[in-house]
Each structure stands twice: as C-alpha cells, then as structure tokens.
Structure 1
C-alpha cells in the first residue's frame, strides 16, 4: 500500500476515547498497519493511579499530570519512526499536554460510542483494573474533540483502521 502524502504523514497518532471504546485493539492494529511502535497508555499509569481506579475512584487532573507527560515523552522519543499511543485523553487540556512539542505532526483518532454500547463491552471484559462504576465519570469528564478523526465504535476494528487510513493518508 502506497501513501500519497508520505512526507506529511503524522508520526504520532493518539487513539482516544473512554474506557472500553476499543482503543487498544484499534491502536495495535493501526500501529501494525503503519509499521509504528505501539504503546498502551494503561501500561504507564503509576501504581497509585491503578490502585485508585481499582477502588472505583476517578482520577483527577493531578493524578494524570505525570502520566500525560510520560506519554508525550514517548511520542517525542518516536518522532522519527512513528508511534501509536492509546489513552483516554478525555479533556482538551490533556490533549494539549500530549501534543506539546511534537514537531513532525500528530493525529488524533477519537473512538466515539454511547454509554450503553460501551457498558455492554465492559460487562464482558475480564481482568482490567477499570471498574464499570467509573464509566459514567469518564463520560462526565469527556470533552469531545473538534480537531480529531471521529469514528464510531459500532464499526469493527478493521473498518475503523481502514477509514482512518483513507481519511488521513489517501
């Protein structure tokens, strides 16, 4: 597959959305397709954040600060070779932190779904630290982006990646 705009190709792609929207599945598939490194933001939460969420407590801006800085650092470390990074990025201020200082461009893919569809996904999910009780707090915190590629979670992961690729690269 040849990219028409390979020189303008974003080197960092953040895949965002509430918990259960399919970020990890879509992000890993997209990274594989592009030949980029893949990073799941959940892997970079400090233990204190995971413990807090496991107790059913929502993270606040202070809890997220170091985590967002780390994800931005990862993006900068992979500016030349490319990275797909998945994280909730629920607020505009968080997204500004994530893209700070990225010279070679970035793109934001927002996996949009309604609370009922995502609740169904979370009910079937096993072994994740994010409890169903926090889903409403994620929707309450969510500031939908205006500068993103927005794709419905009702599509399958392959369809989402194909649509993203068509809209960004071709």
Structure 2
C-alpha cells in the first residue's frame, strides 16, 4: 500500500473544502468533495433539516472508500473532504487500499454557526450543526491524523497539517 489519502474532516462549515483544496494544490494530488458522493435521498433529507442516520451514511462512505481505492490502485495519492464524524465512519474509510490519514478541523460551535449562516448555495442547513457536534468523535490517539484549530488562516492550517503529517509539497508549490 504505497498510496496515501488525506481526509479533511470536521462538522459542516469547518472549512473542509478550503483546506482540502489548499492541500491538493500544494501536494499536486487529485481531490474529491464527499458532498458529491451523497445520493439524492441524503441531500433531500439534509435539505429538509433531517439529520442523516448511520444507515444513510453507510453507502455514501462506501462509495468514497471505493473512490480512494480506485485511485490508490493506480498509484495515485488523493485528498478528500468528508465529515467523518464518528470513528466507525473513519474505520470504513480506512478499509480503502491506501494509507488513510485525517486532518480534523476543530472549532467552537458559535464560530462554525456564524460561518454556516454566511454560506450560500449549500444543502446543509445551520439547524443540523448541533446534531453534527452530537455525533462528533474526535480523533483517537491511535488514529493516523492531526487535529487543527480552524480559527487560523487557511495557509497556516495547511502548512501545519503538512508538517504534522510529514508530507512535503510538490516542488514549485
């Protein structure tokens, strides 16, 4: 298993897409946005303000795991955004044929709530934030990853994550 996948995780509004884009650019790795893997039924549920269940998330996480594996089998490293709120979700992602590592963007609910209320064009309503925090299980000491305070500028978060994971940007990035 030579390929690596960095999963940028956290609750909705934590900045996963921004940091994943920064990491993908610095590393020169392809990126996947987990929201694009949700089946229409999940999007409808969340849009209506109904939290997803573990059963709702299972096929979504499996398709993301399979995408990671597909790229890993081609020798490609990847960056993925995924809430990965529970350890069981991360365990499913770790079933991919790659070294799956995590960057947990952690922060306080009021800061994230403010970000969510300012965000336009996303199906995830701010009303579901409390359910996400209720589900959130921070990275365990035995999990391959790093927790970063989301209150820092994106460039600092990116540099810190790269340093903590021991990943080197591609030359010229």
* TM-score scaled by length of structure 1: 0.91
State the distance in 2 between where 1:125 and 1:62 align. 27
Change in CA separation of 1:141 and 1:150 when aligned onto 2, cut-off 3 Å: same
2:8 is matched with 15
1:156 is matched with 153
| TM-fit CA distance, 1:101 | 3.9
Q: CA RMSD in A?
A: 1.4
2:20 is matched with 27
* TM-score scaled by length of structure 2: 0.90
Change in CA separation of 1:92 and 1:36 when aligned onto 2, cut-off 3 Å: same
Within-5 A mapping of 1:97-108: 97-102=92-97, 104-108=98-102
- Deviation string 1:67-94 (CA, Å, 9 cap, x unpaired) is 0000100111111111101010000100
Q: How many residues align?
A: 162
Greater than 2 Å deviation, 4+ residue runs: none
Segments of 5+ residues of structure 1 without an aligned counterpart are 1-7
Contact 2:50 2:128 survives alignment (8 Å):
yes
State the distance in 2 between where 1:9 and 1:169 align. 15
Segments of 5+ residues of structure 2 without an aligned counterpart are 168-173
| TM-fit CA distance, 1:105 | 1.5
In the alignment, structure 1 residue 91 sits paired with structure 2 residue 86: yes
2:114 is matched with 120
State the distance in 2 between where 1:12 and 1:168 align. 11
- Deviation string 1:145-164 (CA, Å, 9 cap, x unpaired) is 11220000001111111001
